[in-house]
Structure 1
Amino acid sequence: MPGKVKVKIVAGRNLPVMDRSSDNTDAYVEIKLGNTTFKTDVCRKSLNPQWNSEWYRFEADDSELQDEPLQIRLMDHDTYSANDAIGKVYLDLNPLLLPVVPGPVKNVWSSDNSTTSSTSLSGGAVMSGWIPVYDTMHGIRGEVNVIVKVELFSDFNKFRQSSCGVQFFCSPVIPYGYHAQVIHGFVEELVVNDDPEYQWIDKIRTPRASNEARQTLFLKLSGELQRKIGLKALDLGGNAVIGYQQCFDLEGESGIVVRGIGTAVTLVRLQEVTLQPPPPPLASSITSEE
């Protein structure tokens, strides 16, 4: 089912000097999700730019939202030469795809395991704050303040290709505040892709572009692997995976292999119990002997 992503670029701070003649930077931001890209206006001659941009809107399938990271690239505008890259931010949208209320799961105690209901995440999930801007050649290069809002309509049916709503925990123990109603069993998956480090285009592109191509691929493979393991957990009747681990194997020219393992479980949130104060002790009668 489709989902909507809205992004607002608020400001930047502590950006590096990109124009040596003026000791300033003419910064703007590119926002990309899938094949759609937006650009902010150029904030001229400032190392702490204030964009306060409009809301940029993306529409994508929920499975694409799980696989594709949101890419935010800061650039320095040059009039008479190519624009220079300042740095980049990758945002994983999976934490924003969890339902507000727990989705329906299969009743393991009944022969009727079908679940056809659906729920709309009214209002959506929001993430905002200052995020470090990273460049693969120079490291951290300032921060950018962004607001990301995801509105998703999740359809709980057996034909869907996404696993939105499945929670992942790296710890092998049951997370605090939850009870494991059912432990379904071990789940695993692997994803294989060509390594861009060994593609012919590396001979003509810059080291930064080559590094970013690999970095972007790692994030996409990580999201795809998590989505597929989540689907296996749903097929077993679970709503979460605990003890989740990912392993990247770089096998030279044969490509990149990403493996993931975990345990599918059905988690139930513990209800808060209001503790009543204990009753006062009964007054004991004291008799004195005359």
Structure 2
Amino acid sequence: MEFINIRTALFSSPEFIGAEPVQRATWIALLAWCCEQENNGIIRDCRSWKDRRWMQTCGVMASEVGEGCELYSWDGDDLAVFGYPAQIQASLNIKRTVARENGKLGGRPKNSPTVTNAGTEMETDGKPTLVSDGTCIGTDVETDGKTVREGKGRERKVREDDGASPSSGRRKDRPADAEEVRRYMAAQVKRPSDEQLSACAEKFFNKMDAIGWKTNKGLPVDNWRGAARQYASDWQSNEALNRSYGLDGAKPSPYGTGGDQAGPGTTLADPKFNFSVRKEVEKA
């Protein structure tokens, strides 16, 4: 047993009241060990135990057990502990026996078949055939001899076709046209020069619209303004770099990794090319 089931009446019994404090503490220690061992309150063949053995088993000294008292008494070489919950142990033994027998039979009995109020077994064909168009979420609907999956999947598809986010149900944040992009870029600190601003905005809008406003990893663009800000910053950086080397019209990619083209026959696809151009200019 993992608990000591002591009736409170024992603490007002003559045996407990007439005992000394040390004897009471010794009794509780002995009772706890007996409950753990489930030995019906009998510690057998323990009269010859020394202090070391008593301390290792029950946590008491041989001198504390002594000649015994009304809370624990000697019966030959056995020590009988008063107040042991024998009825609780018997109840536990019965429950364990029943559990073992049920385990041999395969565990708990299975639930009985589902029945209706009329007492008959309820039968279903497994697929509902009458489903309202407005309330068919998550159900199989049979139409023209074919079963189609209605519900959440269909609702998600409708939202995506309408330009809405499946998770939030709201329209995705996209600019209406290149002019809206230009106005936003014009308000940024790092942006192309005025003569390049319109071309930058139009290039950004056309490319992002062509790929469905997705990132290079195929994920939807949640914040087009952040992408446009990076695009304008890259354009301005490449424009300044090209001017320093006598090139014109640097155009960055939509993901901020350098330009597409900078003048006839000159490519600024990534920063490595910029470095190679700088070396050639320095040699000249």
Q: TM-score per shorter chain, which class?
A: under 0.3
Q: TM-score, normalised by structure 1?
A: 0.19
Q: TM-score, normalised by structure 2?
A: 0.19
Structure exhibiting the larger radius of gyration computed from Cα positions = 2
Relative to its length, the structure with more helix (as a share) is: 2
Query: Which structure ranks higher in relative contact order (CA pairs < 8 Å, sequence separation ≥ 6)?
Result: 1
Relative to its length, the structure with more strand (as a share) is: 1
